[in-house]
C-alpha cells in the first residue's frame, strides 16, 4: 500500500470511530416508512367551513334591528343567543344571519349598528364558528333602495367585514329585493338588459370593497352567466380594473340556491328568461356542475330548501345527485322541515364507501369536504437541518373540496417541543371529491432538539389569529388519528430526529377479533402487542370513538346501539406512544323483531289504516298529531312505528271511545333516540294526566324509556285511569325536551 492510501484509510477509520462515539450514524439517504390508516366511513364529526347551518340574528340590539324584537312575527329569542348553543349542540360550525337594513333605506347606517355587528362577529370567533351573511332591506316585499344608497352602505360595512374576515365564511350578495334574494326589485329582472349594469356594478362594488378571502354567492346562475359575458365596463362605473371583474374576483363568485328541490326548476332558480337568450333548466344546472376556479378548486355552493318538495323524492336520489354534482358545501338545517324531515326518514342503502344510514346523516357527513387518509410515506429518521420527505394518498368522500385557502403543515411534537414545517407546494383546495395524490414533498427540518417525535398533518385556518383554536383545523376521516386538543392528525407516534435515548419505539400493532354478539354486547379480544420497554395498556375504538382503555387483551363492549359498527384497537407504552391501529373488525347488532301486540290494539302503525292520511286508528276512530318537527307536524311512520320528533312542542291524540274495563294495563311499546325521554311528555287518558315518567308501575317503579324498544305496562286502576270511560289517549310534549320517541304500538292488555 502506498503512503497516501495508508493516510486515507487511517482518516476513514478515525471518522468511523468518532461517529460511533457520537451515537448511531444516520443513513446517507434517510429510510422511509409507509403507514396505512383506518378510514372512518360513518361518523358525523365537526369540521370548519362546511355542513348544516342554523339561523341567528347576529345584530341583537332591538334599537337598531327590529328583527331582534318580539314585536316581529315569528320572533325566536334563541336567534339572539351569542353562545350559539343550538348550533354547537347540533355539531354545526356555520351559522347564517341577515343584516336587516329595513330602517335605513334612505339613510346612513348608525354607528350603533356597526358596533353591534362587530361584537356579534367577535362572539362568533369566541365560539369557534364562522358565519354566512346576507344584507336585506325588506323581509317579504318589494325593495327599491337606490344604487347610491346601497353603495354607501357597502362602504360603511366594509371596515367591519374586513376586520372580521377571518370568521366570515362567505357573503350572499343580498341587497336586492325580498329577503335580499334578487327578486322583487327594480334591478333583478333577468330579461331586462337595462337592469343588468346595476346588478353588475353592485357585485363589483361588493367584491372590490371586501377582502379577497371572502367568497360571494349569487342567488341565480343566470346572473353569474351574465357577469361572465361582460367584456366592456358598464357606463358610469369608476371602480378598480376599469370596473371589469378580474380572474380572482370571478373565482370568488359562487351560487346559493334558496329553493333546493322545491320543484323541477327549484322554484324559479333555473327557468328565468334572459336578455342574453333562452337557456333551459338542464343547461343552467350544467353551468353549476361545471363551476371551478382558475386554480382548479370548487366554488362556494350552498343555500336552503323551500317549503315545498316537488323535486325531492322518497328514495333520496335527487338530493344526493344534485348535492354531489353541484358540490354543495353548506345548507340550512332550519328551513324547510318538509325537506329536512324527508331526509331524516329516508333510509339509504350502503353504496361505495357510504354505509347504510338515513339521508340526513349522509348529508351531514358529506356536505363540503370529508378527507380520508389512505396511506402516507415519510422519512422515519433524519438529522436536524436535513431534508425530510412526505407523500400521501387521500380520498375526499365529501361533495366538494375545501373552498378557502388553507396551509398544510407537518408537525413534529414530543410533548415538550413542537415544530411546524409548512408544505408550501400544496393547495388543499384542489383536493376535490375522489382520490387525491399528494406528490412527494421535501422540506428542510429546522434546528430541532434531538429525540423521538409524533409526526402529524395540520391543516389550520388561513388566518393566523385562529390557529390556536383546534376548532378551525381540519379533521381527517380516520380512526385513532385526531388530536382534538392540538387540532392535528397524527401520522406516526415515533419519528427520530437526530439521536434518541430511552423509549423511542412505539408498540407493535395487535390483531383484533370479535366473538359472538349477545344482545347489545360485543366481546372483543386481541393479540398482545410488543414494545422495546413495555406495553402499559390498550385503547379500544368503536366507529372511531374511544370506548375503553383496558390493560388486558379482552373487553366486552356493552349497550352497543343496534346497527353496524367497526372496531379497532391500539397499544400504548409508558412513553405515551401508540401503536398503529389494528385491523378493523365489523359487527352487526340486529334489533329483535317488533312482536305483534296482544289484547285490544289502539295503534300499531302497520299501515292499515294509514297514518295520518286516513286519520283512523286500529279501532276505526280518529288519530293524529301536530307541532312535531317531522312529517309536516304529524310525525312519521316508518318500519311499522311512529317517530315523533319534538322540541318543546308536539301533541298526539288517538280516540279510544269504548269501555276497556276488561283490561288491566295500558301497554306502550316505545323507545327513545337517546333514552331518558320519559320526562319530556305527558300521557292523558281516562281523566288522568301525568308526565310519563311519573306513572306508577307494578312493584312501585316508574317508566324509564331506553334506546331500545320495551313494553311499558301501566296498571290503569293504580294510576286512577277511568277504564269505563277512557275517552282519548293523548301525548303532550311541552316539558322542555328535545328528542325523538318512536312508538311501535299502544294496546290494552
Residue 27 confidence (pLDDT):
37
Q: Sketch the domain layout of the chain as residue ranges.
A: 29-48+368-501, 51-188, 504-590, 600-748
pLDDT digits (tens, 9 = 90+) for 101-160: 999 999 999 999 999 999 999 999 999 999 999 999 999 999 999 999 999 999 999 999
Quote the pLDDT of residue 74.
Answer: 64
CB neighbours of residue 559 within 10 Å: 11
* Segment 281-331, tens digit of pLDDT: 999 999 999 999 999 999 999 999 999 999 998 888 999 999 999 999 999
Q: What's the pTM?
A: 0.74
The answer for 4, left when phi > 0, alpha when psi is -120 to 50, beta otherwise, is alpha
Examine the pLDDT at 2 and tell me if it is beyond 50.
no
Residue 75 has pLDDT above 80, yes or no: no
pLDDT higher than 80, residue 703: yes
Distance CA 582, CA 569 (A): 5
Residue 169: which of 302, 65, 297 has the closest Cα? 302
Peptide bond into 126 cis (omega under 30): no
Which of 187, 179, 186 lies closest to 205 in space, CA to CA?
Answer: 187
pLDDT tens sequence across 325-377: 999 999 999 899 899 989 988 888 888 889 888 999 999 999 999 999 999 99
User: How many residues in the chain?
Assistant: 749
Report the first-to-last Cα separation within the chain, whole angstroms.
108
CATH of domain 600-748: 2.60.120
Residues 6 or more apart whose Cβ sits within 8 Å of residue 195: 186, 187, 188, 189
- Express each pLDDT in 182-213 by its tens digit: 999 999 999 999 999 999 999 999 999 999 99
Average pLDDT, the chain: 92
Nearest Cα residue to 382 out of 452, 335, 279, 483: 452
> Does position 29 have pLDDT exceeding 50, yes or no?
no
Whole-number Å distance between alpha carbons of 326 and 316: 16
**For residue 77, is pLDDT > 80?**
no
- Give CA–CA dist 161/209, Å, rounded: 9
Cell numbers standing for residue 23? 451515537
What mean pLDDT comes out for the span 706-716?
Answer: 92
In this model, does residue 493 exceed pLDDT 50?
Answer: yes
- Please tell me the predicted confidence (pLDDT) of residue 575: 79
Closest CA to 464 of 404, 411, 406: 406
Which pLDDT score, from 0 to 100, does residue 506 have? 84
CB 496 within 8 A of CB 467: no
Asked if domains 504-590 and 600-748 share a fold, the reply is no
Mean pLDDT score, 64-70: 90
Cα 368 to chain centroid, rounded: 8
Tell me the CATH number for domain 29-48+368-501: 2.60.40.770
Q: Residues 131, 168: contact at Cβ < 8 Å?
A: yes
Which one is the CATH code of 504-590: 2.60.40.1170, 2.70.98.10, 2.60.40.10, 2.60.120.650?
2.60.40.10
SS3 181: coil
**pLDDT beyond 80 at 720:** yes
3-state secondary structure of 228: helix
**For residue 65, is pLDDT > 80?**
yes
H-run or E-run covering 411: strand 409-413
Q: What is the distance between the alpha carbons of residues 198 and 187, in angstroms, rounded to a whole number? A: 6
Amino acid at each position: 500500500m502506498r503512503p497516501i492510501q495508508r493516510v486515507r484509510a487511517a482518516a476513514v477509520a478515525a471518522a468511523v470511530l468518532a461517529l460511533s462515539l457520537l451515537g448511531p450514524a444516520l443513513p446517507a439517504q434517510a429510510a422511509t416508512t409507509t403507514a396505512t390508516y383506518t378510514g372512518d366511513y360513518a361518523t358525523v364529526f365537526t369540521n370548519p367551513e362546511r355542513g348544516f347551518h342554523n339561523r341567528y340574528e347576529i345584530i341583537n340590539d332591538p334599537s337598531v334591528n327590529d328583527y331582534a324584537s318580539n314585536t316581529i312575527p315569528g320572533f325566536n329569542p334563541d336567534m339572539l343567543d351569542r353562545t350559539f348553543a343550538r348550533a354547537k349542540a347540533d355539531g354545526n360550525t356555520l351559522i347564517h344571519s341577515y343584516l336587516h337594513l329595513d330602517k335605513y333605506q334612505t339613510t346612513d347606517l348608525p354607528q350603533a349598528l356597526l358596533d353591534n355587528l362587530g361584537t356579534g362577529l367577535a362572539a362568533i370567533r369566541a365560539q369557534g364558528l364562522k358565519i354566512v351573511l346576507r344584507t336585506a332591506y325588506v323581509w317579504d316585499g318589494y325593495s327599491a333602495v337606490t344604487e347610491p344608497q346601497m353603495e354607501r352602505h357597502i362602504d360603511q360595512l366594509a371596515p367591519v367585514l374586513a376586520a372580521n374576515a377571518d370568521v366570515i365564511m362567505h357573503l350572499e350578495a343580498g341587497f336586492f329585493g325580498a329577503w335580499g334574494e334578487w327578486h322583487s326589485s327594480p334591478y333583478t329582472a333577468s330579461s331586462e338588459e337595462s337592469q343588468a349594469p346595476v346588478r353588475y356594478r353592485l357585485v363589483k362594488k361588493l367584491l372590490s370593497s371586501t377582502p379577497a378571502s371572502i367568497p360571494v354567492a349569487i342567488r341565480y346562475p343566470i346572473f353569474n352567466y351574465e357577469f361572465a359575458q361582460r367584456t366592456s365596463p358598464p357606463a358610469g362605473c369608476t371602480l378598480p380594473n376599469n370596473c371589469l371583474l378580474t380572474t380572482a374576483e370571478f373565482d370568488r363568485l359562487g351560487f346559493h340556491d334558496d329553493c333546493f328541490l322545491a320543484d323541477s326548476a327549484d322554484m324559479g332558480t333555473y327557468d328565468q328568461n334572459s336578455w342574453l337568450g333562452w337557456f333551459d333548466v338542464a343547461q343552467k344546472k350544467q353551468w353549476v356542475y361545471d363551476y371551478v376556479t382558475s386554480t382548479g378548486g370548487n366554488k362556494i355552493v350552498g343555500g336552503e330548501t323551500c317549503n315545498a318538495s316537488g323535486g325531492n323524492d322518497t328514495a333520496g336520489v335527487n338530493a344526493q345527485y344534485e348535492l354531489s354534482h353541484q358540490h354543495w358545501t353548506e345548507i340550512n338545517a332550519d328551513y324547510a322541515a318538509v325537506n329536512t324531515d324527508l331526509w331524516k326518514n329516508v333510509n339509504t342503502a350502503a353504496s361505495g364507501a357510504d354505509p347504510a344510514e338515513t339521508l340526513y346523516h349522509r348529508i351531514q357527513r358529506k356536505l363540503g369536504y370529508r378527507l380520508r387518509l389512505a396511506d402516507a410515506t415519510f422519512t422515519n429518521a433524519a438529522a436536524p437541518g436535513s431534508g425530510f420527505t412526505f407523500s400521501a394518498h387521500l380520498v375526499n368522500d365529501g361533495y366538494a373540496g375545501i373552498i378557502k385557502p388553507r396551509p398544510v403543515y407537518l408537525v413534529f411534537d414530543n410533548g415538550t417541543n413542537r415544530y411546524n414545517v409548512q408544505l408550501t407546494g400544496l393547495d388543499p383546495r384542489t383536493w376535490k371529491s375522489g382520490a387525491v395524490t399528494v406528490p412527494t414533498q421535501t422540506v428542510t427540518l429546522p434546528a430541532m432538539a434531538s429525540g423521538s417525535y409524533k409526526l402529524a398533518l395540520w391543516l389550520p385556518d388561513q388566518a393566523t389569529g385562529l390557529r390556536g383554536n383546534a376548532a378551525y383545523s381540519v379533521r381527517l376521516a380516520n380512526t385513532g388519528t385526531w388530536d382534538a386538543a392540538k387540532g392535528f392528525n397524527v401520522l406516526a407516534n415515533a419519528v427520530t430526529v437526530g439521536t434518541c435515548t430511552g423509549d423511542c419505539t412505539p408498540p407493535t400493532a395487535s390483531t383484533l377479533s370479535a366473538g359472538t354478539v349477545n344482545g347489545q354486547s360485543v366481546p372483543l379480544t386481541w393479540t398482545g402487542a410488543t414494545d422495546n420497554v413495555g406495553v402499559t395498556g390498550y385503547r379500544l375504538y368503536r366507529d372511531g370513538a374511544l370506548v375503553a382503555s383496558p390493560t388486558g387483551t379482552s373487553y366486552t363492549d356493552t349497550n352497543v346501539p343496534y346497527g353496524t359498527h367497526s372496531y379497532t384497537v391500539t397499544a400504548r407504552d409508558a412513553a405515551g406512544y401508540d401503536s398503529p391501529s389494528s385491523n378493523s373488525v365489523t359487527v352487526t347488532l340486529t334489533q329483535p323483531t317488533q312482536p305483534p301486540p296482544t289484547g285490544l290494539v289502539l295503534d300499531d302503525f302497520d299501515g292499515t289504516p294509514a297514518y295520518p292520511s286516513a286519520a283512523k286508528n286500529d279501532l276505526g276512530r280518529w288519530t293524529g298529531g301536530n307541532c312535531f318537527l317531522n312529517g309536516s307536524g304529524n310525525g312519521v311512520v316508518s318500519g311499522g312505528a311512529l317517530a315523533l320528533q319534538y322540541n318543546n312542542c308536539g301533541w298526539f291524540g288517538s280516540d279510544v271511545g269504548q269501555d276497556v274495563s276488561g283490561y288491566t294495563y295500558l301497554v306502550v311499546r316505545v323507545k327513545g333516540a337517546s333514552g331518558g325521554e320519559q320526562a319530556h311528555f305527558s300521557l292523558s287518558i281516562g281523566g288522568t294526566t301525568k308526565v310519563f315518567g311519573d306513572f306508577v308501575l307494578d312493584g312501585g317503579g316508574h317508566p324509564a324509556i331506553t334506546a331500545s324498544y320495551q313494553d311499558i305496562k301501566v296498571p290503569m286502576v293504580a294510576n286512577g285511569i277511568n277504564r269505563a270511560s277512557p275517552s282519548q289517549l293523548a301525548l303532550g310534549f311541552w316539558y322542555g325536551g328535545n328528542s325523538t320517541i318512536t312508538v311501535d304500538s299502544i294496546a290494552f292488555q
